[in-house]
Chain A
Amino acid sequence: MSPSAELAHRLLHLGFLRCASLLVPRRQRDEWWREWRGELWYVGHACTPRGAVSWQGQQEVTRFCLGAFQDALWMRRSGRQPGLALAAIDGTARQCILILAGILTASYAASLLLPGVQAERALWPRKVTPNLVLILRDGSNGEARPTISPAQFLRWQGRKQRYFDGFAFYRVAPETIDAEFPSGGSQTKSAWGVARASSNLFTLLGLPVELGAPDGMKGSDLPAVILSERLWKSDFGAERHLSGMIVHLGHRAVRIAGVAPDGSLGLPGR
Chain B
Amino acid sequence: MARDAKSPQTKLSHTAALILQALDAGFVYGFSIMEMAGLPSGTVYPAMRRLERDELIRSHWERQAIADAEQRPPRKYYKLTASGKATLQASRRRYPLLERLIPSEEVRTV
Residues of A within 8 A of B (CB): 35, 37-39, 41-43, 46, 63-64, 66-71, 74-75, 78
Cα distance, A113 to B49, chains bound together (Å): 43
Partner among A35, A37, A71 whose Cβ is within 8 Å of the Cβ of B42: A71
Interface flags, B4-17, vs A, CB<8A=1, else 0: 00000000000000
List of B residues within 8 angstroms of A37 by Cβ: 73
Q: Which of B29, B34, B42 contacts A66 (CB 8 A)?
A: B42
Counting chain B CB atoms within 10 Å of each CB, which of A43, A67, A69 scores highest? A67
Q: How far is the CA of A42 from the CA of B42 in the complex (A)?
A: 16
By the criterion CB–CB under 8 Å, are A43 and B31 in contact? Answer: yes
A35-B30, A39-B30, A41-B72 known; A69 and B42 CB under 8 Å?
Answer: yes
- Known contacts: A35-B30, A63-B40, A71-B41. The answer to whether A41 contacts B46 by CB under 8 A is no
Collect the chain B residues with CB atoms within 8 Å of residue A46's CB.
31, 35
Counting chain B residues whose Cβ lies within 8 A of the other chain, the interface size class is 10 to 19
Number of A-B contacts (CB under 8 A): 54
Nearest chain-B residue to A43 (Cβ)? B31
B74 contacts A by Cβ under 8 Å: yes
Cβ of B75 within 8 Å of any chain A Cβ, yes or no, is: yes
What are 19 A-B residue pairs whose CB atoms fall within 8 Å in the complex? A35-B76, A37-B73, A38-B75, A39-B30, A42-B73, A46-B35, A63-B41, A64-B41, A67-B41, A67-B42, A67-B43, A69-B42, A70-B46, A71-B46, A74-B49, A75-B46, A75-B49, A78-B49, A78-B50
Residues 30-68 of B at the A interface (beta carbon under 8 Å) = 30-31, 34-35, 40-43, 45-46, 49-50
- With both chains docked as a complex, state the minimum distance between the C-beta of A17 and any C-beta of chain B, in angstroms: 10
Query: CA separation between A69 and B72, bound complex, in Å?
Result: 24
Task: From the candidates A41, A68, A78, name the one contacting B41 in the complex (CB within 8 A).
Answer: A68
Residues of B contacting A69 with CB < 8 Å?
42
Residues of A contacting B73 in the complex (Cβ-Cβ under 8 angstroms): 37-38, 41-42
Q: How far is it, in angstroms, between the C-alpha of A37 and the C-alpha of B67 when the chains are bound?
A: 14
Expressed in whole angstroms, the minimum distance between the Cβ of B71 and any Cβ of chain A is 10
Interface residues of B in 64-95 (CB under 8 A from A): 72-76
* Contact A67-B75, Cβ < 8 Å, known A39-B31, A42-B31, A74-B46: no
Residues of B within 8 Å of A68, CB to CB, are 41-42, 45
| Given known contacts A70-B46, A75-B46, A38 and B41 CB-to-CB distance under 8 angstroms | no
Bound Cα distance from A78 to B76, whole angstroms: 21
Q: Judging by beta carbons under 8 Å apart, are B31 and A67 in contact?
A: no
Chain B residues in 8 Å Cβ range of A78: 46, 49-50
Residues of chain B lying within 8 A (CB to CB) of residue A74: 42, 46, 49
Chain B residues, CB < 8 A from A67: 40-43, 45
- Whether B45 and A71, one on each chain, are in contact in the complex, defined by CB atoms closer than 8 angstroms, is yes
Task: Specify which chain A residues have a CB less than 8 angstroms from the CB of B43 in the assembled complex.
Answer: 67, 70
Complex Cα–Cα for A46 and B110 (A):
13
Chain A residue with Cβ nearest B73: A38
